[in-house]
Structure 1
Amino acid sequence: MKVGLLVGRLCRGGAERQLMRLAGGLTRRGLDVEVLCYDGPSPHDALLEAQGVRVRHEAAQGRLAKVGLARRWLRDFQPDIAHGFMKRASGVAALARLGGGSCRVLASDFSTATYGRRKPALWGALGLFALADRVVTQTELNRRSLERLAPWLRGRVAVVRNGLEVERFEPVPSPLPPSPFRFCAVGSVYGVKNPERVVQAVAELCRRRGRGFRLDWYGRFGLDGDRAPSPAYRRALALSERLGVADLVTFHGETHDIERAYQQTHALLHASLQEGFPNAVVEGMACGLPIVVSRVSDLPLVVAEARNGFLCRATDPVSIADAMERMLLTGGDERRRMGQRSRRLAIDWFHQERFIDDYLNLYTDMLRSENVRRLG
Structure 2
Amino acid sequence: MSVVLYISPRARGGVDVWMENIQQAMERAHLPCRLRFLPHFYNFAPFLLPLALRGDWPGPARLVHSGSRAGYFLRAPGRPLVVTVHHLVADPSYRPYTRPAQRLFHRLERLYDGLSIAHAGAVACVSRYTREQVVRLYGRTDARVVYNGIDTDFFRPPPKRPAAPPFRLLFIGNRTRRKGADLLDPLLEQLGPGYELAYSGGQRGNEVPIRSPRAVALGRLDRPGLLQAYHTGHALLFPSRLEGFGLAVAEAMACGLPVVAARTSSLPELVVEGEGGFLCPPDDVPALAEAVRRLAGDPALCRRMGEFNRARAEALFSYPQMAEGYRALYEALGVSFPGGNRGT
Q: The TM-score by the shorter chain falls in which range?
A: 0.7 to 0.9
> Could you say if the C-alpha distance between residues 158 and 127 of structure 1 is closer, same or farther in structure 2, counting changes exceeding 3 Å?
same
Question: Corresponding residue for 1:137?
Answer: 125
Question: Corresponding residue for 1:338?
Answer: 305
- Measured after TM superposition, the shift of residue 269 of structure 1 is 0.7
Amino acid corresponding to residue 106 of structure 1 in structure 2 = V
Mapped to 2, the partners of 1:65 and 1:360 lie a distance apart of: 30
> Could you say if the C-alpha distance between residues 305 and 350 of structure 1 is closer, same or farther in structure 2, counting changes exceeding 3 Å?
farther
Matched, 1:65 2:48: yes
> Could you say if the C-alpha distance between residues 267 and 35 of structure 1 is closer, same or farther in structure 2, counting changes exceeding 3 Å?
closer
> Could you say if the C-alpha distance between residues 231 and 37 of structure 1 is closer, same or farther in structure 2, counting changes exceeding 3 Å?
closer
Mapped to 1, the partners of 2:26 and 2:253 lie a distance apart of: 25
Matched, 1:316 2:284: yes
Question: Corresponding residue for 1:55?
Answer: none
Mapped to 1, the partners of 2:191 and 2:122 lie a distance apart of: 46
Mapped to 2, the partners of 1:38 and 1:73 lie a distance apart of: 16
Mapped to 2, the partners of 1:16 and 1:71 lie a distance apart of: 23
Mapped to 1, the partners of 2:35 and 2:228 lie a distance apart of: 32
Mapped to 2, the partners of 1:68 and 1:191 lie a distance apart of: 37
Amino acid corresponding to residue 72 of structure 1 in structure 2 = G
Question: Corresponding residue for 2:203?
Answer: 223
Larger radius of gyration: 1
SS at match of 2:333: helix
How many residues are paired up?
321
Q: Select the residue among 218, 242, 247 that pairs with 1:279.
A: 247
Q: Select the residue among 55, 80, 83 that pairs with 1:107.
A: 83
- Measured after TM superposition, the shift of residue 368 of structure 1 is 6.5
Mapped to 1, the partners of 2:287 and 2:181 lie a distance apart of: 14
> Could you say if the C-alpha distance between residues 340 and 113 of structure 1 is closer, same or farther in structure 2, counting changes exceeding 3 Å?
farther
- Measured after TM superposition, the shift of residue 285 of structure 1 is 0.9
Mapped to 2, the partners of 1:213 and 1:353 lie a distance apart of: 37
Deviation per CA, 1:274-303: give whole Å up to 9, x if none: 222222111111111111011234221333
Q: Select the residue among 263, 266, 270 that pairs with 1:298.
A: 266
- Measured after TM superposition, the shift of residue 338 of structure 1 is 1.0
> Could you say if the C-alpha distance between residues 34 and 261 of structure 1 is closer, same or farther in structure 2, counting changes exceeding 3 Å?
closer
Q: Is the 8 A contact 1:169 1:259 kept in 2?
A: yes
Question: Corresponding residue for 1:56?
Answer: none
> Could you say if the C-alpha distance between residues 69 and 338 of structure 1 is closer, same or farther in structure 2, counting changes exceeding 3 Å?
same
Q: Is the 8 A contact 1:214 1:249 kept in 2?
A: yes
Deviation per CA, 1:354-374: give whole Å up to 9, x if none: 2222212211112169xxxxx
- Measured after TM superposition, the shift of residue 28 of structure 1 is 4.9
Mapped to 2, the partners of 1:253 and 1:131 lie a distance apart of: 40
- Measured after TM superposition, the shift of residue 18 of structure 1 is 1.7
Amino acid corresponding to residue 4 of structure 2 in structure 1 = V
Matched, 1:171 2:154: no
Mapped to 2, the partners of 1:105 and 1:171 lie a distance apart of: 37
Matched, 1:253 2:219: yes
Mapped to 2, the partners of 1:89 and 1:112 lie a distance apart of: 13
Mapped to 1, the partners of 2:43 and 2:320 lie a distance apart of: 34
Q: Is the 8 A contact 1:290 1:338 kept in 2?
A: yes
Mapped to 2, the partners of 1:203 and 1:318 lie a distance apart of: 11
Q: Is the 8 A contact 2:171 2:197 kept in 1?
A: yes
Q: Is the 8 A contact 1:184 1:268 kept in 2?
A: yes
Q: Select the residue among 290, 312, 325 that pairs with 1:358.
A: 325
Deviation per CA, 1:139-196: give whole Å up to 9, x if none: 0111111112222x11x21111112111212223235424222211112333333222
TM-score of the pair, normalised by structure 1: 0.76
Matched, 1:183 2:163: no
Q: Select the residue among 64, 88, 113 that pairs with 1:125.
A: 113
Percent identity among equivalent residues?
25
Higher relative CO (Cα under 8 Å, sequence separation at least 6) belongs to: 2
Q: Is the 8 A contact 2:6 2:33 kept in 1?
A: yes
Q: Which runs of 5+ in 2 are unaligned?
A: 96-105, 337-344
Question: Corresponding residue for 1:87?
Answer: 68
Question: Corresponding residue for 1:116?
Answer: 92
RMSD over aligned CA atoms reads: 2.9
Mapped to 1, the partners of 2:44 and 2:299 lie a distance apart of: 56
Q: Is the 8 A contact 1:262 1:284 kept in 2?
A: yes
Question: Corresponding residue for 1:22?
Answer: 22
- Name whichever of 260-269 and 337-346 sits farther off: 260-269
Deviation per CA, 1:326-352: give whole Å up to 9, x if none: 3334x2222211111010001111111
Q: Is the 8 A contact 2:62 2:335 kept in 1?
A: no
TM-score of the pair, normalised by structure 2: 0.82
